[in-house]
Structure 1
Amino acid sequence: MSYYHRAPRVYAPYIMEMSAPNYSSPCFSTDEFGFRTTIYKGNRLTLRAYRELIDRPRAAIFGNSTAFGVGTTSDSLTIPSHLNRNTQFLWFNFSGRTFQSTQELLCYLLFAPEGIEKIVIISGINNFDMSYRWFSDDTIYLPPFYNQRPFLSAYFDKEIEPKGFLRRLIGRI
């Protein structure tokens, strides 16, 4: 697990934070966009190659650390790499460490090519974790969320009156 904890992260527009591009360790590697390398026919499958290959119908996995493959000892042991060996689809891993559903959706909107026929989403735990931490006053340790708390505190602490949709949403919480 230490390779995962020491792996560098970079800020990405809209997504906030991703694994560093072109990173390589004994346990995992990333492509030029920071996505976990998937193995296809024994070779590294990058996002660029995934967009260009058309020998199989495309499929994609979106999700959090589990979908990313945190804890695996090789890129070949991730869920999409297993699926590449055992299905007729070409799978790519659009997941990220500590991602929550909004970041996963943004990865789809910003990076996924047209023509994906199957999508698997392994998600939700980080959303629940963040909402629990928010309402329990627990410290939020996940870097992508560190600067949201002061902004949202203004609404939840009633320092300013929210308008429109946000006011209706807060009224239901």
Structure 2
Amino acid sequence: MSSRSRLTPQMTAYQEKFADSGDVRWLPYLMYFHPPGHRSDVVNTDESGFRYSEKNGQRLSLRSCESSEPVRLLAGSSTVFGIGASADRWTLASRLNENDTRSEPWLNFGGRSFNSTQELLLLVLNKHLLPPVDEIVLFSGFNNLGLARLPPSQRLEHGAFFNCGDFFNALKPAKANGLKGIGTKLFGSAPAAEAPLPTIGQQIEYATELTVRHLHIWHLIARELGAKLTYVLQPLSGWVRPEGCREEEALFSELDQLGRFTEVYGDILRKDVCLDYGQALRAGIEALGVRFINLSPVLSEALKPDQWLFVDRIHFTDDGHDFVSRLLLELLH
């Protein structure tokens, strides 16, 4: 049995409908989102595709909460969605509900594989459904940086999205026949680069500009809602510690054989990149009047050497979600 099957059997549930190889739901504007009304022992979504969070045994989502009762939003990409959690109650939003003494529930506002443009659009497209919001935490950062190395023809004005090369290629033969060619496979292998890879400094500069640009709009909406806004730079395994615990290293080794994460993103995993990226983000974000937290150095100080935090280099275990939620609440209060 592989390390991944033995240590993280829940990951097969994500492969079914919540991965590029699964049943990806195509949507206008957002590009893709989670299937609505999904039911399983691991992942459950509401009628719009938002994953449920849990509080005191009650399932909560944007579509199910009381319209008059205030909430807190945890927004971001796949880490917020909860890839790696063995059940809805173990996602970061649910653990915040479990560990937060305040009464307002946390809703899971994450979108798998989203960049900052998609995170913002998810808010804009669903703002009319929001109940009163006391607090918004945007827990993000890796995707913009990882996508910053794609060629300009794929980044365009608003940033690249995952597997956009396949999307653009699928549109090419469709020009003569409207959108008939859109059924072509949209999600798959990464496109070949058309230009030399930008330096890590250039990637940080690009990702920072894009993030701050979109966070400015988050700030305007949060101010209208009367909500406190915090941006949290999400941790990566290499940003927290150079070598993981025994379980993590076994998983990382197997995943590197299955995919190309280290080959494609290995330079991003360096701790100095975390510090440089965090410093650049902090300058731009705090200039907006928004609070900024770089979580990796905090985790690095608090984590024990044998503590198992990651199921892969981005996503958390159940205990990892709980541990991160406790640290995050200390920083937010």
Q: TM-score, normalised by structure 1?
A: 0.74
2:147 paired residue number? 130
Change (3 A) 1:68 1:130: same
Q: Which moved more, 1:140-149 or 1:102-111?
A: 140-149
| Alignment of 1:60 onto 2:73 | yes
d(CA) in 1 for partners of 2:110, 2:30: 12
What per-residue deviation string (whole Å, max 9, x for no partner) do you get for residues 124-166 of structure 1? 211111112437x9xx993466325799xxxx88xxxxxxxxx
Q: Which letter does structure 2 place at the counterpart of 1:146?
A: D
Q: Which letter does structure 2 place at the counterpart of 1:122?
A: F
In the TM superposition, what is the alpha-carbon distance from 1:94 to its structure 2 partner? Answer: 1.0
Q: Which moved more, 1:91-100 or 1:104-113?
A: 104-113
The structure with more helix, counted as a fraction of residues: 2
What 5-or-longer segments of structure 2 have no aligned partner? 1-10, 18-22, 155-159, 172-193, 196-205, 207-333
d(CA) in 2 for partners of 1:14, 1:41: 35
Change (3 A) 1:148 1:74: same
In the TM superposition, what is the alpha-carbon distance from 1:70 to its structure 2 partner? Answer: 0.2
In the TM superposition, what is the alpha-carbon distance from 1:14 to its structure 2 partner? Answer: 1.1
On the 8 A contact 2:115/2:161 being kept in 1, the answer is no
On the 8 A contact 1:16/1:144 being kept in 2, the answer is no
Change (3 A) 1:99 1:51: farther
Q: Which moved more, 1:100-109 or 1:80-89?
A: 80-89
Q: Percent identity?
A: 34
In the TM superposition, what is the alpha-carbon distance from 1:107 to its structure 2 partner? Answer: 1.1
In the TM superposition, what is the alpha-carbon distance from 1:9 to its structure 2 partner? Answer: 2.3
Q: Which letter does structure 1 place at the counterpart of 2:136?
A: I
Structure 1 runs of 4+ with >6 Å offset: none
On the 8 A contact 2:67/2:131 being kept in 1, the answer is no
d(CA) in 1 for partners of 2:60, 2:30: 22
In the TM superposition, what is the alpha-carbon distance from 1:41 to its structure 2 partner? Answer: 2.1
| Alignment of 1:147 onto 2:177 | no
| Alignment of 1:75 onto 2:125 | no
Structure number with larger C-alpha Rg: 2
What 5-or-longer segments of structure 1 have no aligned partner? 158-168
Q: Which letter does structure 1 place at the counterpart of 2:162?
A: L
Q: Which letter does structure 1 place at the counterpart of 2:120?
A: L
Map 1:1-173 onto structure 2 (within 5 A): 1-7=11-17, 8-52=23-67, 54=69, 57-87=70-100, 88=102, 89-112=104-127, 113=130, 115-134=132-151, 142-143=162-163, 146-148=166-168
d(CA) in 1 for partners of 2:62, 2:73: 11
- Secondary structure of 1:110's match? helix
What per-residue deviation string (whole Å, max 9, x for no partner) do you get for residues 49-106 of structure 1? 225351xx31101111111110000100011111122221211111011011111111
Change (3 A) 1:43 1:144: farther
The structure with more strand, counted as a fraction of residues: 1
1:163 paired residue number? none
Q: Which letter does structure 1 place at the counterpart of 2:148?
A: S
d(CA) in 2 for partners of 1:123, 1:116: 19
d(CA) in 2 for partners of 1:110, 1:67: 18
Q: Which moved more, 1:72-81 or 1:24-33?
A: 24-33
On the 8 A contact 1:17/1:144 being kept in 2, the answer is no
Change (3 A) 1:144 1:96: farther
d(CA) in 1 for partners of 2:94, 2:42: 14
